[in-house]
Amino acid sequence: MAISSTPKRQESDRHQKKTWLSTLISRPEVGPIGVMLLLFGMLGYFSIPAGEMSWNPFTGEGFNALGIRNFLRVISQLGIIAIGAGLLIIAGEFDLSIGSMIGFAGACMAMILRWGFSIVIPYFSFDGGFHIEFYTLFHLSNVTPIVAIFITLCFTLFFGWIQGTIVVKSGLPSFIVTLGGLFFLRGLTEVSLRSFNHRADQAKGATTVTEIPDIKNIVNVPGHGEMVREKAKALPEADLVSIAQTIPADTIAKITERLEYTYQRVADAKTDILINKGTKPLQKALANAEQSGNDYMVGMIQEKIANFKIDPVVPKTVTDVDIARVYIDSLYSSKPIANFFGGDIIEPIFDWLYFPIDWNTNNFGNQFAPGLYSCVMIWLIIALVCYVVLSRTQAGNWIYSTGGNLSAAKANGVPTDKVKVSLFMFSAFCATVFATCQVFEVNTADAAKGNLKELEAIAAAVIGGVVLTGGFGTILGICVGAFIFGIAKEAFFYIPGIDGSFYRVFLGLVIIASALTNENIRKRIIGSI
């Protein structure tokens, strides 16, 4: 009787009783969270100015108010498209057209906002050389932000639907289909922009749309109607004084207190600058005297430094004009949709951090950061909704089963084709949201805005625990992956004596390690090893 060399198992690894520690370690998010904490520590340590020692990471440039504002913007924008890419990977597909979709959506929205929306018929023209001209069938001018967003979404969702349909109907790999989509959209965007940019206010043949109205900063100014915030603050002094007279007394008192604090901080900062300018030559002379060993000169210069004084700078007096300008800054946008995508959030907290906490302050005494970019809030909303869908609904089960075992999912009645097409459309939606945030933040658009963003999104998803073969991953992990990507870029920037691009080397190693680890965890969970 032959004896089998294969060991017999009484039950699968999936059914074995596990301790809380082994369960925790088997989670795909644990490793990325550890890397994220390491990068947080690096950013906090290396961003502290040379010569200063502190255990408080918030004393460094990386974690001051402006640093937090900037790196959270990078992380959140990447996080938005990483969620779209990650869900699609969980379902067993790829979307390489995300970056081109960002450029296309941004250009489409920018052109609509600036010049309106037209339905045109293209034709070839030989007047002055071979080129493409357009015959206008319909034109809509003065398009509102919500209409511009809706029209752009119609284009991007339709393209996402086309890509998804080609993948599920033809059986072609999504890698090939979306790679074609990448080049098609990028080329279409560049050709369209070069064709449309024949206006005197645009560079001929440019792939950029500039001077988009600053819609998010359009406010209702008392007595003047809707105006761009900066133009309102530049009104003649007589107009600003009249605006100040319409402000309630308690509001004037709060604004005055804030301005007096600001002006005092600015005056103190100017005084310190003058002192530093006056003592710097003396400090240089002191160093020379110490080097030469002239004790007499050392003592004399040290005495001069100790007794160096200047008259402190007198702070400005608060005027009605100043009060009016601060009041205009405090007015809410009359275009809430544009402000939702391109404005700031939690401004009262950042104001409080400046006055009275005195943390949100730059070297010149002014407020460092007005708030967080609104894309942070949008990212969190999308992440929360997707978390609920993926972990608490039947649709989430369909996504996991479609990517885990396509044949078994079909056999159990899962609408796998609809799942995949829907996720391609959702990926296009996320790219459009990314582009919308950029357009309303910076009031410009470019065909190359999303260049290589598709690779960054996929990398963030993989780092966060998504398995490239599908069927495995979490929203939390994807968000952590986006954090790692953004924090790594900031942290390596501050490391002295190292090329800032080294973060790509680090990320490459992390991606490979993450992919290997994730696959191992997946096999353990499903009982394959």
pLDDT in tens, 187-198: 989 888 887 766
Task: Compute the chain's Rg from CA coordinates.
Answer: 29
Tell me what pLDDT residue 273 has.
86
Q: What is the dihedral of CA 273, 277, 283, 285, to 10 degrees?
A: 180
> CB neighbours of 270 closer than 8 A, spacing ≥ 6?
313, 364, 365
Nearest C-alpha neighbor of 233 from the set 310, 303, 328, 150:
328
Q: Give the Cα separation of 265 and 357 in Å (integer).
A: 13
- pLDDT at position 26: 57
In the predicted model, is pLDDT for residue 430 greater than 50? yes
How would residue 380 be classed by pLDDT, with cut points 50, 70 and 90? very high
Q: How far apart are CA 153 and CA 108, in angstroms?
A: 10
Q: Which two tokens stand for residue 439?
A: 């357009």
Is the pLDDT at 496 greater than 80? The verdict is: no
Percent of the chain exceeding pLDDT 70 equals: 83
Per-residue pLDDT at 180: 94
Instruction: Find the mean pLDDT for residues 332-347.
Output: 92
- 82 close to 460: Cβ distance less than 8 angstroms: yes
Better pLDDT: 13 or 64: 64
DSSP-assigned states of every residue in 38-92: HHHHHHHHHTSPTT---S-GGGSGGGSHHHHHHHHHHHHHHHHHHHHHHHHHHTT
Q: What is the pLDDT of residue 1?
A: 43
Q: SS3 for 4-49, per residue?
A: CCCCCCCCCHHHCCCCHHHHHHCCCCHHHHHHHHHHHHHHHHHCCC
Q: For the chain, percent helix, then strand, then coil, each to nearest 5?
A: 65, 5, 30
Task: Say what the pLDDT of residue 118 is.
Answer: 79
- In the numeric block, the tokens 């004009």 are attached to 321
| 16 CB-contact burial (10 Å; exposed 0-12 / middle 13-18 / buried 19+) | exposed
Q: DSSP string of 150-167?
A: HHHHHHHHHHHHHHHHHH
CB 114 within 8 A of CB 142: no
Instruction: Give the lowest-confidence range in 56-60, 97-101, 346-350.
Output: 56-60
- Distances in Å between the Cα of 421 and the Cα atoms of 164, 319, 416, 484 are 4, 60, 9, 29
Question: Where are the alpha helices (H) located in 314-447, listed in sequence order?
Answer: 320-330, 336-342, 347-354, 374-392, 394-404, 406-411, 416-442
User: 142 vs 216, which has greater pLDDT?
Assistant: 216
Tell me: pLDDT of 89 over 80: yes
**Is 513 a residue whose pLDDT tops 80?**
no
Tell me how far apart the alpha carbons of residues 425 and 435 are, in angstroms, rounded to a whole number.
15
Q: Does position 14 have pLDDT exceeding 60, yes or no?
A: no
DSSP bridge pairs for 372: 345
- Quick one: what percent of the chain has pLDDT higher than 90? 42
Average pLDDT over the chain, rounded to an integer: 83
Taking residues 219-245, report their average pLDDT.
92
* pLDDT for position 44: 63
For residue 270, pLDDT over 60 is answered with yes
The residues, ordered by sequence, that sit 6+ positions from 201 with a Cβ below 8 Å of its Cβ are 211
The structure tokens listed for 69 are: 């504002």
With residue 227 as reference, give the H or E element that holds it.
strand 225-228
Place of tokens 């979490």: 474
Poorest-confidence range of 50-64, 201-215, 222-236, 283-297?
A: 50-64
Q: Is the pLDDT of residue 238 over 90?
A: yes
Higher pLDDT, 295 or 492: 295
Rounded to the nearest 5°, which phi and psi values hold at 319? -120, 170
Among 77-86, 128-137, 383-392, 458-467, which is the least confidently predicted range? Answer: 128-137
Q: Rounded mean pLDDT of 227-247?
A: 92
Q: Can you tell me the distance from the alpha carbon of 145 to that of 287, in angstroms, rounded to the nearest whole number?
A: 61
How high is the pLDDT of residue 96?
Answer: 92
Confidence (pTM): 0.83
Cα–Cα distances in angstroms (integers) from residue 165 to residues 162, 176, 399, in the given order: 5, 14, 17
pLDDT(240) > 90: yes
Q: Higher pLDDT residue, 433 or 514?
A: 433
Q: What distance, in Å, lies between the first and last C-alpha atoms of the chain? A: 28
What is the per-residue burial (b if ≥16 Cβ within 10 Å, else e) of 66-94? bbbbbbbbbbbbbbbbbbbbbbbbbbbbb
Q: How many CB atoms within 10 Å of residue 198?
A: 11
Report the C-alpha gap between 78 and 457 in whole angstroms: 6
DSSP characters over 492-518:
HHHSTTS-TTHHHHHHHHHHHHHHHHH
pLDDT of residue 6: 47
Q: Cα separations (Å) of 113 from 202, 332, 443?
A: 15, 21, 10
Residue range 20-66, pLDDT digits in tens: 555 555 565 566 666 667 766 666 666 666 555 555 555 666 678 88
Residue 120 three-state SS: strand
Exposed e or buried b per residue across 316-330, where buried means at least 16 C-beta atoms within 10 angstroms of its C-beta: eebebbbbbbbbbbe
Split at pLDDT 50, 70, 90, the class of 11 is very low
Neighbours of 401 (CB within 10 A): 19
- Using CA atoms, how far apart are residues 416 and 422, in angstroms rounded to an integer? 10
Q: Is 187 helix (H, G, I), strand (E, B) or coil?
A: helix
pLDDT in tens, 439-451: 999 888 888 888 8
